Amino acid sequence: MQLLGLAGFASMASMRIGDPMLVVLGEEFQVSTGEASGVVSVFAVVYGLMQLFYGPLGERFGKLRVVSLAVAACALFSAITALSVNLPMLLVMRGFMGAAAAGIIPLSMAWVGDQVPYERRQETLAKLMSATVIGMMSGLWFGGFAADTLGWRSAFVLLAAMFAWPALLLWRERQKSPAPASGQAPSIIDSFRLTGQLLVMPRVRWVLGVTATEGALVFGALAFMPTHLHQQYGLSVVAAGSVMMLYGVGGLLYSQMARRWLAWLGERGLVRTGAVLVVVGLFVLAWGSGVWVGMLACLMTGLGFYMLHNTLQVQATQMAPAARGSAVTLFACSLFFGQSTGVLLMAQSVDMGWLAYALTGASVGVVVLGAVVFRLVGRH
């Protein structure tokens, strides 16, 4: 679990490191902030698409083996990304990073689903989430710090080192353990047939649908929170990234007390409380002013999102136990396709000066989302 947590840390840092860079990247490559947001959306699109393939690969070659190779590939692509000379090259390399990172967190979740009983699964997934949340916080802060001081390329150099360390440790662990026996490799047709069989299941469709909506509403807003803090709250790029770390602090506050939260509120209570916190946090962020207001809004949004999202993660590990690897990677696929859609829609609002209205719209959407997830969890 510790090595998976380290890999998840680096993966989430790579996912969020571009968020506070958008203004700086737009200035360097002489494009609008909305166009520069492609570094976020292309990562999410490719990340989501590759889930269709990582599920079968994990079942065929072993989930931990695929994770270790994915981490090594991330180290290589991160180093090359730092050498990007123009925006198209940067977008292509971010796509490659998304393709490699796609094999880390979802397959780690699937491995937990295979190894941990349902009664302990939410707590165990919350511990894995702690590492990914700290990674997100580190990515947000260092992305802003590097863009403001050392140069944005330095952030990707550090990412390469962050991936190289767990890649080495995972390779050493693989050398100590015998390779799992592999069955017959599924054909592409068989892989997509399995996906089709899963999508026929009503509960799978419900979970994937609400997850895609969650990704569009919350992750789409998250990508532009640093931009909003910079433009509307008057914070520097590094200060905006630092305030955004409180979003991750909210996630840590949940994950470190996951057992207590679950005992106090139950699954449905987590959904209801989480949705309310996200709604209030996004609305306050959209129309508030002052650094303390921004800090409170980010903290509330982070705590609420992880309450809601961790509950959906548990549902994903149990929606198709006989094909858990494929099911969980489908879950990640829907989440990041939703995110990419949300980022593209939010990008339009940024360039038109409507970001506050877009954040308000996202908060209204979360009201409906919370009600749907509340009913979904109630139909165990």
Q: Please give the Cα distance from 204 to 228 (Å, whole number).
A: 35
Instruction: Report the half-sphere exposure of 273 (CA within 13 A, side-chain side).
Output: 17
> Which segments of the chain does DSSP mark as H helices, in order?
2-16, 22-29, 33-36, 38-61, 63-81, 87-101, 105-115, 118-145, 152-176, 188-200, 202-214, 220-232, 237-255, 258-287, 291-318, 324-351, 355-378
| Angle CA 184–45–113, to nearest 5 | 50
Q: pTM of whole model > 0.85?
A: no
User: Which amino acid is residue 187, in one-letter code?
Assistant: S
Q: Which pLDDT does position 298 carry in this prediction? A: 93
Sign of the alpha-carbon torsion through 356, 357, 362, 365 = positive
Residue given tokens 């709604």 in the structure block: 279
pLDDT tens for the chain, residues 1 to 380: 678 888 999 999 998 898 889 888 988 998 888 888 889 889 988 887 887 788 778 777 778 888 999 999 999 999 999 999 899 999 999 999 999 998 898 888 877 777 777 777 767 777 787 788 888 888 888 888 998 888 899 999 999 999 999 998 888 877 766 555 445 555 556 766 777 788 888 888 888 999 999 999 998 888 888 889 988 898 888 888 888 889 888 888 887 887 788 889 888 899 999 999 999 999 999 998 889 999 999 999 999 998 998 888 888 877 877 777 678 778 878 887 888 788 888 888 877 888 899 999 999 999 999 999 998 786 65
Contacts of 48 (CB under 8 A, 6+ apart): 102, 332, 333, 334, 335, 336, 337, 339, 340
Q: Which pLDDT does position 327 carry in this prediction? A: 80
Q: Which pLDDT does position 117 carry in this prediction? A: 78
> Which segments of 118-219 does DSSP mark as H helices, in order?
118-145, 152-176, 188-200, 202-214
Q: Please give the Cα distance from 303 to 250 (Å, whole number).
A: 4
Q: Please give the Cα distance from 273 to 305 (Å, whole number).
A: 10
- Domains of the chain are 2-177+189-378 (1.20.1250.20)
Q: Which pLDDT does position 363 carry in this prediction? A: 95
Q: Please give the Cα distance from 204 to 198 (Å, whole number).
A: 7
Q: Which pLDDT does position 40 carry in this prediction? A: 86
